[in-house]
Each structure stands twice: as C-alpha cells, then as structure tokens.
Amino acid sequence: MTRRFFWIILLLLLLWAGASYYGYAVFRISMILLFAVLFFSLFSVLYLRTRVKLDPMRYSEEITRLESARYTLELSLRSLLLPAQLRMTAWSSQSHETVLSESRLLNLTVRPGEARRLVATLEGIHCGTLELGEIDLQVRDMFNIFWMRIPGVEKHLRFSTLVLPRLYYKRESTSLIKELIDEGELARISTLDTSDEIDTLRELQPGDTMRRIHWKVSARVQKFMIKQYEDPREIRYYVLLDPAYNENDLKDIRAREKENFARDDMLEFTASIISVLLDKKQWVELETWHPARMFQASNESGHLNYFRRQLALLPRTSERSMETQIERLNIGSGMSYYIFVVRSLTADLARRIAAFRKHSLGLMLCLMETSADPDMNNLYEELVNSDIKIVEAKDLISADNLLDNHEVTA
C-alpha cells in the first residue's frame, strides 16, 4: 500500500461523517466511487502480479577483479488490457559480510503483450563472490494505491558471479621465481647426492661430479662408479596462504575496505607467483583449509584458472591460523619446496616455520606486511640462518597498486 491509500481512507471517513451529519447524496456517491476505485485497484494488482512473466537471469559466471559483470533480465506482461508499473530494488555484495550500501531502484511501465529487457552491470571490486543479496520486484496498479510483490522472484533472479584475482604482479614475480627455481634445483641435486636411495650404478663419465661417486662400490670393482637416479624426482612447489585478513567483524567501513584490499593484494600476489611457475612447467600444489580442505595441483599453464578459482573461493574469515595449517601439512615427499604467503610474522609462527624447514627441500617466506617490532629482527636472522628465503612483498609490489591509491568512501 502507498500513501495514497491512507489518504483515500481518510477521505472516506470524512465523507462518511459528512453523509451522516448532512445527509447529502453527493457524499454517498463519492464514497461509492472511492470504494469502486479501491476494489478495482486491488483486483488489478492481484491480476497483474500473476501476469508478469520472468525469464531466468543471464549473468557472467566468472570475471576478473575490477571487471564488470553483465546481467540480463527479460520480462513480459501477458495482460489483456491493463498495463503494469514495476519497481525493482536490490542491494549487491561480494560476501555475506560486505554489503554495498548503495540501493538500486528501477521503475518502469510494461504495456500488455510487451517484453522488456533489462541490462545491468556490477563491478567486482574484491576477489570472491559477487551476488545480489536481496531482490524485491513489485507491481503497482494504475492508480498508484497498492504495491504487491511478484511471487517466485528468488528462483528467477538469484545469481552468483565468481571474481577471480588478477595476475597484477606477474612481471614483478618473474625474477623472484627464477631465483626460486634455481635454488630449488640446487637443493634437489644436493639431496640426490647425499641420498642413500640408489636406482642404479654406472661408470664415471665426463661432466659427472665427484660427490656422486659411490666409493665403496668403486673400490670393490676398481673403477669409479656413479650413483644413477632414473627418477628425476620433480620438485613440487607447495603454496600455503595466511587466513589472517578480516578475522574480526569490522564495523568501520574504511577499516573493512582496507582489509579487503590488503586481502586482494595477497591473492593477486599469490596468483602471479603460481602463474609464473606454471609458465615454466613447474609442478604447483595449492592446499587450503578455509574452513574445509581444498586442494589443487598441476604443472600445466592452461590450468591456471583452477588455482585462481580456489583463491577466489577463500572466505574472508577462518578459524584456522597459519600455525594450525602448518601442523596439518602432510610431508609425503622430500622433493617439496614450500612457499608460505604470510600477512605478518609472529614469534610463534617463526618457530613453527623454522622447525618445519628441517623436513622440506626448501622454504620461501613471503611477508605481505613488515612488522615494526624491533624484536622481529632476531627472528629474521634465525630464519635466514635456517636457510629460509625471506621475501617482503613491498619490495616486489609496485607503488601504484590499488591498495595505496584507492579512495574508500563511506
């Protein structure tokens, strides 16, 4: 019901009072006409709400962050004579926590037998899920007295678009990955040279290193024999992310948006690293527990979107800390090189990482934020002494990234 309905009720009360007091016929005739208008409006709005046909909304299933998703809605009116006035209101979000405050209002008139196509675009500001959290489509009578909701709207207008992280820092990650692959290859060769697991033996050939000579067998057969490994034991680069962003329910819009953009930087930085590794035909594994276990592994560059989807699906809150995730890692192969992407370093996390390094081929620690605590310098030295490669994201992320320049508006 609209304000006009209440004005009509008030007018009816005045006409009834006038008819009772003065007894003029004009008051009674006016009351009958107003009742007729009310009944006609109620009948027409009940009729029109069943005559509006909605086709399922067509939408973009995936977009890259900062791209716009396109949504198309087709509706038609199967009325014989009466036109319908429609009003649509909705609010959009990229999660159940982050709601865009701007309401979207649409008013249009549909004539009998007419079909209308509505096209809208929404920008994927943050990585994650872009959706309409609530849609309200109402029909109104021609006298603007009653509004009534059209049934079955959720079934036709419900949609969800996945916003994938960009490969924004791929160029900055190229040199880092080259150093990482070289370091991993040296660690692999060193591990094979010191391993007791030998597939076969062969005679010394030009180019072989002295470290791979099997001295006991060589002394027995009176010639140099080399340890031969038929299995090259491919290095697997294992990526693990810190779930430390948006752990608290922030009420301040600017603080929440700052957390969201920091999270986007972490996801895009990780996606860029994975992209370069896949381009170089390296085997990459990504495992997360946010909150359920998700796993993706491949060495094909064409499978990059699988990793990007898994990154985009990471929820903004998690009960599992980075220390808990490291505890759950199953070290099944000595040929795994681990990449930990961490928001900031703590004393407990540093000790956990240093202990984990003893069981891995190598470990690179990517810090998204640098701690201002001077006590962290000693932790850095301990990690470096444990042969852990430490990379600070601020040294790789260009200064013109979105987090620094984006103005968050309340």
Any domain includes 145? yes
> Are 211 and 312 part of one and the same domain?
no
> Are 249 and 204 part of one and the same domain?
no
- Reference 343, options 240, 261, 242, 239; nearest CA is 242
Q: How far is the C-alpha of 242 from the C-alpha of 293, rounded, in Å?
A: 14
pLDDT score for 247: 52
Domain of 295, CATH number, reads 3.40.50
Domain that holds residue 152: 1-164
pLDDT score for 65: 92
Higher pLDDT, 400 or 289: 289
User: Which pLDDT tens digit goes with each residue over 243-290?
Assistant: 777 655 666 777 778 888 888 999 999 999 999 999 999 899 998 776
Phi, psi of 109 (to 5 degrees): -115, 135
- pTM (two decimals): 0.74
> Are 159 and 181 part of one and the same domain?
no
Label the pairing between strands 62-64 and 160-164: parallel
User: Residue 397: pLDDT band by 50, 70, 90 thresholds?
Assistant: confident
Any domain includes 410? no
3-state secondary structure of 261: helix
Write out the H or E segment, with its range, that includes residue 18.
helix 3-22
- Reference 63, options 169, 166, 164, 160; nearest CA is 164
- Which tokens sit at 188? 């692999």
Q: How far is the C-alpha of 68 from the C-alpha of 264, rounded, in Å?
A: 17
> Are 297 and 368 part of one and the same domain?
yes
* Averaged pLDDT, 235-239: 88
Phi, psi of 386 (to 5 degrees): -85, 15
Mean pLDDT across the chain, nearest whole number?
Answer: 79
Do 284 and 338 touch, CB atoms closer than 8 A? no
User: Which pLDDT tens digit goes with each residue over 306-345?
Assistant: 999 999 988 777 667 788 888 877 665 567 889 999 988 8
> Are 308 and 206 part of one and the same domain?
no
Rounded to a whole number, what is the largest CA-CA distance in the chain? 133
User: 128's torsion region: left (phi>0), alpha (psi -120 to 50) or beta?
Assistant: left
Phi, psi of 111 (to 5 degrees): -85, 160
Q: How far is the C-alpha of 277 from the C-alpha of 265, rounded, in Å?
A: 18
In order, the DSSP letters of 199-220 are SEEEE--TT--GGGB-HHHHHH
- Which tokens sit at 80? 């014989």
- C-alpha R_g of the chain: 33
> Are 250 and 367 part of one and the same domain?
yes
Buried b / exposed e along 176-209 (16+ C-beta atoms within 10 A): bbeebbebbeebbeeebeeeeeeeeeeeeeeeee
> Are 4 and 92 part of one and the same domain?
yes
- Which tokens sit at 189? 């060769």
**What are the strands, taking DSSP E only, across 292-361?**
293-298, 336-342
Do 343 and 244 touch, CB atoms closer than 8 A? yes
CA distances (Å), origin 335, targets 284, 339, 389 = 12, 13, 17
pLDDT score for 410: 28
Any domain includes 308? yes
Any domain includes 322? yes
Q: How far is the C-alpha of 23 from the C-alpha of 5, rounded, in Å?
A: 25
CA distances (Å), origin 356, targets 272, 360, 388 = 25, 7, 10
User: Residue 96: pLDDT band by 50, 70, 90 thresholds?
Assistant: very low
Domain of 153, CATH number, reads 2.60.40.3880
User: Residue 62: pLDDT band by 50, 70, 90 thresholds?
Assistant: very high
- % of residues, the chain, pLDDT over 70: 79
> Are 252 and 155 part of one and the same domain?
no
3-state secondary structure of 19: helix
Any domain includes 191? no
Q: How far is the C-alpha of 239 from the C-alpha of 364, rounded, in Å?
A: 10
pLDDT score for 106: 76
> Are 74 and 208 part of one and the same domain?
no
Any domain includes 192? no
Degrees (nearest 5) of the Cα angle 34, 37, 39?
A: 110
> Are 160 and 295 part of one and the same domain?
no
pLDDT score for 101: 39
- Which tokens sit at 393? 């994201």
Any domain includes 115? yes
- Does residue 348 carry a pLDDT above 80? yes
Phi, psi of 40 (to 5 degrees): -65, -45
Number of H helices, E strands in the chain: 11, 18
> Are 283 and 332 part of one and the same domain?
yes
Higher pLDDT, 224 or 240: 240
HSE of 54, CA atoms in CB hemisphere, 13 A: 23
> Are 160 and 178 part of one and the same domain?
no
In order, the DSSP letters of 135-176 are EEEEEE-TTS--EEEPTTHHHHH--EEEEEPP-TTHHHHHHH
- Does residue 16 carry a pLDDT above 70? yes
- Estimate the crossing angle of helix 253-279 against helix 304-312, to 10 degrees: 160
- Give the chain's domain count: 3
Do 363 and 263 touch, CB atoms closer than 8 A? no
* Averaged pLDDT, 80-102: 65
- Which tokens sit at 328? 């759950």
Do 110 and 84 touch, CB atoms closer than 8 A? yes
Any domain includes 398? yes
User: Which pLDDT tens digit goes with each residue over 358-392?
Assistant: 878 888 999 888 776 677 777 888 888 888 888 88
